[in-house]
Structure 1
């Protein structure tokens, strides 16, 4: 693998020095928030080094692949990287990330960092990344649709209630159910919302020996929700290929009552920016008809577990500029940096105190900020395993297509396949 990666990188390795001879700290970012991240790179550059942005692909899976190839080849130009939280454990376990230690580590995950975000950067009792921004999903909906269906949104609602409400009024339910990471996010949150897990949390760090627990009452409850939506009038036509972007337009269709939709924090700013434009609210009244509530319950009476996402900043173990890269990582994750990302890009802070900043309260409704903060603090992470990529792919392969999910068979089949994949008896 390393040899193949080295060949791949032959023409793409980056210079360690800029045109003026000053060292360059290369920062690989995902496409979210490019403008603000570029500004942060300039602001955090110093007399000793410049931070240079390198753009990763849009897909989290493709981001992992590109970074893994570079790091497996011990690429010294991979200094700083924006990591989906689910890949921190894998990269740390492989020895590809330089840990933060002492006072630096303590400062990166102090009591101000929301619990859901702080947990994502830990592996083997060490801190391997700096939380930059945190993400979670809430239930977005048209207030007029919920009201017409008689659904009280001041109280927790279940997936069954949401599907029934949308179906009764000719509305739809938007989710992420293509065969990709977003679908696993939904499956994982449904299972955790029913009190279960894909893997036993007490054994998940045992890697290939982790106990597979997806075949459970919670797994069956999750499958029942997917089956119900797929068979309902509320299913959107592109359910089997749906992603974070496809369902946005169904909130404000040319005609019809709109939708309920589970999605990430960027949604609010998306519709604000689309005010009066195609795909967005026609006017201020339509924007005010946009509601938001806690992620739906899988089982009535059991608190939901909203997804945890975001970006953590890791430092490459083979970097020639480890010290400067760590300084840069601390700079691009300060409360000030997090506030800029939230206001400009809709990427929410990993620190609780930043939600109280005046700039955020001017940009977002106060109750929405509280909902996001509470959801991140009490949400459910995906399995924190060095083998997460294989786990995710195995789940996708047995739960897709959503139109074929069966509570009586899908959890059982996926459990067997996942055990076989982890033990090396089956290939993805």
Structure 2
């Protein structure tokens, strides 16, 4: 990454030792304004670094002297969450923060993020956003505290080349029982567990967001009620989801040992899926670039020719196969920013047109708005455009206050299944008991 416009982040061992420089330098109303933009993932920082001069030039054409200082601070998700909370609390956070939507709820609820409703109401770009993306970004109080610049579709990725070589059907499975039948064929022919579905405590939050939640979302059972702001921790859908995990473990279809070891995504998604020995993986649309693309973590040569996607099969009677729509990163503005209007201007510009198309292509994300399909370089990403077509019909997973606590309970319950310390019903009871304790009476439906 070129460093001439980047403030290098502190070393990992000193992450909590020093705060980032305060929001932005004070300036006279007629003078230049400087805003700071935080990117904590290297790929995102690299593409934004190239966009900043173009933004500054565009603002100059409009008679606005806005300068942007990029703060590139490579962190893990957990490190970022700890550090940004600390900095927002101390008043030292940057003006604009690029982060995943799961971080927004807690920070907005604590009053750290700027309410963007008035800014979005008068912005014609907001009309281009898919309704599902808007609803996913809406917070429990009904307002918006981030401008999404990504969307995602979660489905089951499969090695089409491998399954065809093994003589296994590659058409869309209608039910999980149908898919399990195919997985058993693979297991019988290879002796290897053929499916990775994130589970247990080692995978962390991914066991919730990439594993359990997509399965649960298509059952038709209410999980989170946005009106009452409460979680229903006991339902037929929850029982069915935990029962599925138990069935997969009992049939030796999940790589249990890998799931229980540190960094379980490495031997599964980054090694065995790439080798073809584990040919089915629960994954999001970001996998086309971030995981298996030419510059991804574990490239698969000719990935579009070798890999296909299935919608999630129906798990309970009365449901149909479905894909799961989700968010991605979005730009939030520090509620204490000294230059909030300029910060919002930057967030809007980065979430529009060519600037947005370049970010989407760089990180392998789906466009959150309808007007990007003909904009280069995004238009040259057929896998992403195909995934985008599903946004309108995809199932939206339940999201709400207390999600971190629910995630923790899911991780613990699925860990018991992996260890064969609980069957599906017992895991469902374990989950409900722990979720009730972690959430508290005020956030649990009775």
TM-score of the two chains, using structure 1 as the length reference: 0.82
1:181 aligned residue: 205
Give the conservation status (yes or no) of the 8 Å contact 2:207–2:410: no
Matched, 1:389 2:396: no
Deviation at 1:377, TM superposition (A): 5.4
Q: 1:119 to 1:157 in 2, by over 3 A?
A: same
2:10 aligned residue: none
1:29 aligned residue: 39
Matches within 5 A, 1:161-176: 161-169=178-186, 170=190, 172-176=194-198
Deviation at 1:137, TM superposition (A): 1.6
Matched, 1:216 2:231: no
Give every structure 1 segment of 4 or more consecutive aligned residues whose post-TM-superposition deviation is greater than 6 Å.
none
1:225 aligned residue: 244
CA distance in 1, matches of 2:394, 2:411: 25
Out of 189, 214, 223, the residue aligned to residue 198 of structure 1 is 223
1:234 aligned residue: 253
Q: 1:167 to 1:145 in 2, by over 3 A?
A: farther
Out of 396, 399, 406, the residue aligned to residue 414 of structure 2 is 399
1:349 aligned residue: 367
CA distance in 2, matches of 1:266, 1:343: 10
Q: 1:107 to 1:377 in 2, by over 3 A?
A: farther
Q: 1:9 to 1:143 in 2, by over 3 A?
A: closer
More displaced 10-residue stretch of structure 1: 263-272 or 221-230:
263-272
1:312 aligned residue: 330
CA distance in 2, matches of 1:187, 1:346: 23
SS at 2:113's partner residue?
A: coil
After superposition, the CA RMSD in angstroms is: 3.1
1:5 aligned residue: none
Give the conservation status (yes or no) of the 8 Å contact 2:153–2:284: yes
Paired residues in the alignment total 399
Deviation at 1:106, TM superposition (A): 5.0
Deviation at 1:25, TM superposition (A): 1.7
1:340 aligned residue: 358
2:55 aligned residue: 44
Q: 1:231 to 1:23 in 2, by over 3 A?
A: farther
CA distance in 2, matches of 1:55, 1:165: 45
Give the conservation status (yes or no) of the 8 Å contact 2:196–2:281: yes
CA distance in 1, matches of 2:398, 2:75: 20
CA distance in 1, matches of 2:103, 2:393: 20
Deviation at 1:224, TM superposition (A): 1.6
Q: 1:87 to 1:279 in 2, by over 3 A?
A: closer
Deviation at 1:219, TM superposition (A): 0.6
CA distance in 1, matches of 2:200, 2:168: 31
Q: 1:376 to 1:27 in 2, by over 3 A?
A: farther
Deviation at 1:183, TM superposition (A): 0.7
Matched, 1:92 2:116: no
CA distance in 1, matches of 2:168, 2:355: 42
Deviation at 1:10, TM superposition (A): 7.6
Matched, 1:250 2:275: no
Deviation at 1:311, TM superposition (A): 0.8
Out of 344, 362, 379, the residue aligned to residue 395 of structure 2 is 379
SS at 1:161's partner residue?
A: helix
More displaced 10-residue stretch of structure 1: 79-88 or 107-116:
107-116
1:325 aligned residue: 343
Give the conservation status (yes or no) of the 8 Å contact 1:116–1:379: no
Give the conservation status (yes or no) of the 8 Å contact 2:36–2:95: yes
2:435 aligned residue: 418
CA distance in 1, matches of 2:335, 2:35: 13
CA distance in 2, matches of 1:58, 1:225: 34
2:19 aligned residue: 12
Where does structure 2 lack aligned partners over 5 or more consecutive residues? 1-14
Q: Residues 357-416 of structure 1: CA distance to partner in whole angstroms, max 9, x if unpaired? A: 464343324xx523343147523234222x333332333333335404532122222222
TM-score of the two chains, using structure 2 as the length reference: 0.79
Q: 1:129 to 1:140 in 2, by over 3 A?
A: same
CA distance in 2, matches of 1:57, 1:393: 25
